[in-house]
Amino acid sequence: MAKMTGPENIPVWIDSNRCKACDLCVSLCPSGTLAMQLGAEFVLGKIARVMEPQRCIGCYECELHCPDFAIHVAERSDFKFAKLTPESKERAQQIKANRFMAL
């Protein structure tokens, strides 16, 4: 498969035209990088967003499981990802407890 290229110096990005707001990527993200955002302009009333890119650890769980191929993670050779910290784990738990919505 061709290598996906995204914006420079961005660990993870979302194609908002493809996202079907299923929450799956947010439910799998261990670092609190992602969250759902409400908005009347979105077809389903919400969309996945990269809220805190500096927390992304490059685990690829979001990209591997997105049913709509809407989320992409930078290559490990192109980006220095963060380490998973207790703060990031806690943030991920808070987002999950908030029904995947942004805090």
Please name the helix (run of DSSP H) or strand (run of DSSP E) that holds residue 87, with its range, or none.
helix 86-97
Closest distance to ligand SF4 from the beta carbon of 39 (Å):
13
Give the C-alpha separation, 22 to 33, whole Å.
16
Q: With beta carbons less than 8 A apart as the criterion, state whether 47 and 39 touch.
A: yes
Q: Would you count residue 102 as binding ligand SF4 (CB under 6 A)?
A: no
Binding segment toward ligand SF4, per CB under 6 A, in 1-9, 37-45, 63-71? 63-71
Is residue 33 near ligand SF4 by the rule CB under 6 A? yes
Binding site for ligand SF4 (CB under 6 A): 12, 14, 19-25, 28-31, 33-34, 48, 56-62, 66, 68, 70-71, 73
